[in-house]
Structure 1
Amino acid sequence: MATPKNYGPTRLVVGAHYGMKDFLVQRVTAIILAVYTLVLAIGILVMPAFTYENWRALFTFTVFMLPVGQILAMLAFLALAWHAWIGVRDIWMDYVRPVGTRLFLQVLTVLWLVASIVYFAQILWRL
């Protein structure tokens, strides 16, 4: 009986196939965060005075009664959470060998990220 060839285009690839999707998500979320940071920095630089009202206006401006500032801030924070999840999950998968410990750390990470998103949304939408 011949053994199967485990290299080249005929090799059997197993696993979760996270590679390319996560690579792209990391790059896209990084671009979203970079653009949002630039917009926020420009908003701060053109701000007439650094007061609470002006700071609040950066996050609560509207266009045609649509809360664009809050929507953009929420999208940026969701991009940050997704970016963090992929990075931290990869750290747990690469460096924590015991499966139970790795799963526990991943669950804690997800809970922390979800709690952070909920907390951020509560603060942002109360402005």
Structure 2
Amino acid sequence: MVDRIVTGAHYGLRDWLVQRVTAVLMVAYTLFIVGYVLLHSRFESNACIGLDYNTWTGLFSNLVMRSFSLLFLFAVFYHAWIGVRDIVMDYVKSARARLVIYVLVIMALLLYSIWAVQILWGM
């Protein structure tokens, strides 16, 4: 019997699992928002008016909703980072080009995260 020695970074399984967990979180949040919109929309003469400003502000004034919204956005950003990183690793052969792409994507995701906190908490 041959003993196999497993080598490598071993981050593939962790990344695969994180992709699945963040995807489930994003689906749950999306279903909640769609359900909320459908349950709270106004319908007049066979047309959906949608939600008014007070309904939206009422939903997002709750600390729990803002926290889950921020968690959802961080999940989207992390999910995007793993996906972009894997695609760049597979298809961009130049190490310098990969580094530039990684830095640009990380900077964009950090700026989006700061922006999300400012929007949700009005800082």
Q: 1:4: which partner in 2?
A: none
Describe the shift of the 1:10–1:123 C-alpha distance in structure 2 as closer, same or farther (beyond 3 A): same
RMSD: 1.7
Moved >6 Å (runs of 4+): none
Equivalence for 2:101: 105
Q: How many residue pairs get matched?
A: 114
1:73 CA drift (Å): 0.3
% identity of equivalent residues: 39
Asked whether the equivalents of residues 29 and 83 of structure 1 are also in contact (C-alpha less than 8 Å), the reply is: yes
Does residue 13 (structure 1) correspond to residue 15 (structure 2)? The answer is no
Distance 1:125 1:28 in 2: 25
Q: Which runs of 5+ in 1 are unaligned?
A: 1-7, 62-66
Q: CA deviation at 1:17?
A: 2.0
Change (3 A) 1:124 1:102: same
Q: Counterpart of 2:17 in structure 1: which amino acid? A: L
How far apart in 2 are the matches of 1:96 and 1:34? 30
Post-superposition offset of 1:124: 1.0
Distance 1:18 1:31 in 2: 20
Deviations 1:68-112 (A, max 9, x none): 011010000011111000000001101100001101101110100
Q: Which has the higher strand share?
A: 2
TM-score, normalised by the number of residues in structure 2: 0.85
